[in-house]
A and B are shown apart, each in its own frame.
Chain A
């Protein structure tokens, strides 16, 4: 009897330990303190590489970077010998947080009804508890833009950090109004419209855009004259005001060469103050024109097939490099809405290998998008005063062999867990195996 009791007691203890341990190990709580990352190779992006250096993180900011840094008293030291520190990567074109299961309309929140609905805000529709978010950030992608998609002006996109429980906690300081540029051409062999029909439809859509822009200009004048007091409730126009005033850009989603040229002409004629082109699959065809217009682009996906059957097989890989060579400012975006924003470093790696070069590719996922979004004072490089949003790896983050060991977002030490790592922990050696004792 005693033996049995002892056995039961032991079993219970073991069971209890087994029950508790995984829970503790799977904790998704991030922590916040003063950290000193010592003896690291630091890829600052803007000021070269520092060997055997230290980065101090305090109050969410980078407070010291260099080789002769004094570690503050009480700081938690993370020994980074053999490790690299990079800025967190920024994906400049995603639907992260707005789409959970891509085929299920109930989980798709990026596509609102209406053709001119810039008042629809991505920021407040982002799901901070999306399972996709931890999956993304443990790969070193710390910041993304969540983009509405749909008709002509489907909403206002928002830059978010992949940590936080409310929109306010996640907001990374940038919003932009999206335009889905109307396609002027035939979409493919299946598109059976006549040339006249295509032209009529295109003109109709451009007219809608013109009308909205004209109204926005007038609304701006009224609003300015009345000093924002007593203006009628007009949500679409209110959302366009900051664009008219140059406080916010249009993010124009456009891919086909002729459409890019049309968009450039429209922007020039309408005197739009701030513009970003996004997607630009065929940017390479009209790279000189884009460079001349001095408009930055978010190119991608890089891992894509060429847009035309007669194009060289590697055109999508080469597009960012060709744009850069022509003098265009290039950031990268995956356009992913199926859980693989985590592959941003691989899009960058391919762009690097097919002409952009590694140094520029790194910039295209860090400092360049930060500059394009006007948040380079906070993000995009390892510099004193910037947000402590960075990753610690054992090598080049563009390589699949590299492990990301730690991610910090706004100074928060992020648990390196996601549902995908939890499933690995549970199933690598499943118990019970084939037979259940």
Chain B
């Protein structure tokens, strides 16, 4: 007897969303339109659809429906961020430390987010592997949050962070941007040699009478070799134009095509080069001046990149910002006059492309995952308020049923009245190192 088991914890729903203004992203804006969801997928988009029996009906008259928001840069939903013990740590994966209890995930849902790219930090030039998560908040198994089938991704980092941690803190290469380039080239050269040795061995061992040992297994080099083969997408923390250009040259020399630059505050200065290479960019809407390498930034970055043909997204890298990415996308209308569809693509279809999941999510199309948000008022308006957030056809946030305490578990040691009001003063990419910085530098 054959039993098909659904992926662990993967609940899916059936639902009819009725009479909404549907912002499809790829097929324009459709007024007075229904969206039919079957088994967690979008089954039909059209007028006057009927709900089969057993389907929940969600009236959305006067409301807007858009695809679930995708955050291409987050550190939520994971318990470990920085394995900062070496400049290259391709062997570790944040997917081994998924935390389904993180209340930030629920708060993100309340901001319309349905998929996040949970990333390793930026302490190392080559950091660990990242994990694309679906915000199935309420499910207790860590594994159930993984977006099955999403391509592998890995964090790289340039500039102040890796040089500060390793050169400054540990007195090892890299201390400068020269060193960062060297670390990249050395790692890929070793990976290339490793892959060649594995290849030679694999071919030779089929020969009759072959006597020899395989190369010593090395998961770090194995992972880097997978990047060279195009099986892992690089997401590279970067700020300055020079280091971005350097990384493009490294990719070119090693035949690496799949690279997304993260933060990339000075991406606008090398936008033609990024576009020509096919590299993508995931930026803040307007963050700057929190450290020196972002002093020469402009909030027009996303618009300049978009106009130059670079596939661009807007990310949060922050548990607060991630709750209003639709508002962040709206800022590109002030800074560069992007159209509604262009602005919304920055937080839906474009980040989906950057994570290699655009065939699954990022627009409202038949066959795609039913990850949707229902808004009161247009999502690009400052008065837009997410009402219902749906993941795989399952309602994961409903403003009318929202209670105060949405934690799934309470740490018995957690103080009742504790409040942490420290402002975060830079991107959270160095999270987990605060203690170390106090020791090393006496500053945060």
Some 5 contacts from A to B, beta carbons below 8 A apart, are A188-B415, A313-B406, A337-B425, A339-B289, A402-B334
Q: Which residues of A, 414-433, contact B by the 8 Å Cβ criterion?
A: 419-421, 423-424, 427-430, 433
Question: Measured between alpha carbons, how far is A257 from B416 in the docked complex, in Å?
Answer: 13
1/0 per residue B399-439: CB within 8 Å of A?
00011111100110111011111010110000000000000
A352 sits at the interface (CB 8 A): yes
B128 sits at the interface (CB 8 A): no
Decide if B407 touches A309 in the complex (CB within 8 Å). yes
Question: Measured between alpha carbons, how far is A348 from B271 in the docked complex, in Å?
Answer: 34
Residue of A nearest to B411 (CB): A189
Question: Measured between alpha carbons, how far is A433 from B281 in the docked complex, in Å?
Answer: 18
Given known pairs A304-B320, A339-B288, A420-B300, the reply for A314 and B110 (CB within 8 Å) is yes
Residues of B participating in the A interface, judged by any CB pair closer than 8 Å: 103-104, 106-107, 110, 268-269, 271-273, 276, 286-292, 295-300, 303-304, 307, 319-320, 323-324, 327, 330-331, 333-336, 377, 380-385, 402-407, 410-411, 413-415, 417-421, 423, 425-426, 443-444
Tell me the dominant secondary structure on chain A's binding face.
Answer: loop
Question: Measured between alpha carbons, how far is A188 from B410 in the docked complex, in Å?
Answer: 14
Question: Measured between alpha carbons, how far is A101 from B288 in the docked complex, in Å?
Answer: 9
Q: Of the candidates A101, A255, A281, A433, which one forms a contact with B289 in the assembled complex, judged by CB atoms under 8 Å apart?
A: A101
1/0 per residue A232-265: CB within 8 Å of B?
0000000000000000000000011110000000
Decide if B426 touches A310 in the complex (CB within 8 Å). no
Decide if A424 touches B419 in the complex (CB within 8 Å). no
Question: Within 8 Å CB of A101, what residues of B?
Answer: 289-292, 295
A354 sits at the interface (CB 8 A): yes
Q: Of the candidates B110, B291, B417, which one forms a contact with A104 in the assembled complex, judged by CB atoms under 8 Å apart?
A: B291
A335 sits at the interface (CB 8 A): yes
Decide if A430 touches B307 in the complex (CB within 8 Å). no
Number of residues on chain A facing chain B (CB within 8 A): 64
Binds B, one of A24-32, A84-92, A218-226, A393-401: A393-401
Q: A103-B292, A305-B104, A400-B327 are in contact. List 8 more A-B contacts (CB 8 A).
A: A282-B419, A313-B107, A337-B423, A339-B289, A350-B382, A420-B299, A421-B298, A433-B272
Decide if B382 touches A399 in the complex (CB within 8 Å). yes
A187 sits at the interface (CB 8 A): yes
CB B108 to nearest CB in A, in angstroms, measures 9
CB B79 to nearest CB in A, in angstroms, measures 14
Question: Measured between alpha carbons, how far is A346 from B299 in the docked complex, in Å?
Answer: 15
Question: Measured between alpha carbons, how far is A186 from B288 in the docked complex, in Å?
Answer: 32
Given known pairs A258-B417, A310-B405, A314-B110, the reply for A399 and B290 (CB within 8 Å) is no
Closest 5 CB pairs of A and B: A349-B382, A339-B289, A400-B330, A424-B300, A103-B291
A434 sits at the interface (CB 8 A): yes
CB B2 to nearest CB in A, in angstroms, measures 43
Q: Of the candidates A103, A186, A424, which one forms a contact with B304 in the assembled complex, judged by CB atoms under 8 Å apart?
A: A424
Given known pairs A187-B420, A427-B304, the reply for A338 and B404 (CB within 8 Å) is no
Decide if B299 touches A400 in the complex (CB within 8 Å). no
Q: Of the candidates A256, A354, A399, A403, which one forms a contact with B417 in the assembled complex, judged by CB atoms under 8 Å apart?
A: A256
Given known pairs A185-B418, A434-B273, the reply for A303 and B324 (CB within 8 Å) is yes
Residue of B nearest to A343 (CB): B286
CB B306 to nearest CB in A, in angstroms, measures 10
A353 sits at the interface (CB 8 A): yes
Question: Within 8 Å CB of B333, what residues of A?
Answer: 400-401
Question: Within 8 Å CB of A401, what residues of B?
Answer: 330, 333-334, 380-381
Decide if A189 touches B413 in the complex (CB within 8 Å). yes
Residues of A participating in the B interface, judged by any CB pair closer than 8 Å: 100-105, 131-132, 185-189, 191, 255-258, 279, 281-282, 303-305, 307-314, 335, 337-340, 342-343, 345-346, 349-350, 352-354, 358, 398-403, 419-421, 423-424, 427-430, 433-434
Decide if B287 touches A400 in the complex (CB within 8 Å). no
Residue of A nearest to B326 (CB): A400
Q: Of the candidates B298, B402, B415, which one forms a contact with A312 in the assembled complex, judged by CB atoms under 8 Å apart?
A: B402
Question: Within 8 Å CB of A434, what residues of B?
Answer: 272-273, 276
Decide if B418 touches A191 in the complex (CB within 8 Å). yes
Question: Measured between alpha carbons, how far is A105 from B442 in the docked complex, in Å?
Answer: 11
Residue of B nearest to A307 (CB): B419
CB A80 to nearest CB in B, in angstroms, measures 20
Decide if A428 touches B307 in the complex (CB within 8 Å). yes
Decide if B382 touches A310 in the complex (CB within 8 Å). no
Question: Measured between alpha carbons, how far is A343 from B410 in the docked complex, in Å?
Answer: 35
Decide if B286 touches A340 in the complex (CB within 8 Å). yes
Question: Measured between alpha carbons, how far is A281 from B269 in the docked complex, in Å?
Answer: 39
Residue of B nearest to A314 (CB): B110
Residue of A nearest to B435 (CB): A190
Given known pairs A256-B417, A349-B383, the reply for A338 and B425 (CB within 8 Å) is yes
Decide if A102 touches B291 in the complex (CB within 8 Å). yes
Decide if B418 touches A189 in the complex (CB within 8 Å). yes
Decide if A346 touches B385 in the complex (CB within 8 Å). no
Decide if A354 touches B385 in the complex (CB within 8 Å). yes
Question: Within 8 Å CB of A307, what residues of B?
Answer: 419-421
